[in-house]
Amino acid sequence: MALVDECIFCKIIRGEIPSFKVWEDDKTFAFMDINPVAKGHALIVPKFHTPNIYEAPQEWLGPTLGAVGRVARAVRDEVQPDGMNILQANDKGAAQSVFHIHFHVIPRIVDDGLTMNWDMVPGDMDEIDKLAEKIAAHTASE
Interacting residues with ligand AMP (CB under 6 A): 8, 19, 31, 33-35, 43, 89, 95-98
Q: State the nearest-atom distance from the C-beta of 136 to ligand AMP, in Å.
A: 28
Q: Report 83-112 residues binding Zn ion (CB under 5 A).
A: 100
89 binds, among ligand AMP, Zn ion, none (CB under 5 to 8 A by kind): ligand AMP
Please indicate whether residue 102 is annotated as part of the active site.
yes
**Alpha-carbon Rg of the chain, whole angstroms?**
17
Beta bridge partners of 87: 104
Q: What is the 3-state secondary structure (H, E, C) of 54-88?
A: CCCCHHHHHHHHHHHHHHHHHHHHHHCCCEEEEEC
Distance of CA 9 to the CA centre of its chain: 13
Considering beta carbons, is residue 16 or 132 the nearer one to ligand AMP?
Answer: 16
- Which DSSP category does 91 fall into? S
Considering beta carbons, is residue 5 or 132 the nearer one to ligand AMP?
Answer: 5
Distance of CA 23 to the CA centre of its chain: 15
Considering beta carbons, is residue 8 or 66 the nearer one to ligand AMP?
Answer: 8
Kind and range of the H or E run holding 13:
helix 8-14
84 binds, among ligand AMP, Zn ion, none (CB under 5 to 8 A by kind): none
Q: Report 10-69 residues binding Zn ion (CB under 5 A).
A: 10, 49
Q: Please identify every residue annotated as catalytic.
A: 102
Residues of the shown chain interacting with Zn ion in the complex, contacts defined by CB under 5 A: 7, 9-10, 49, 100
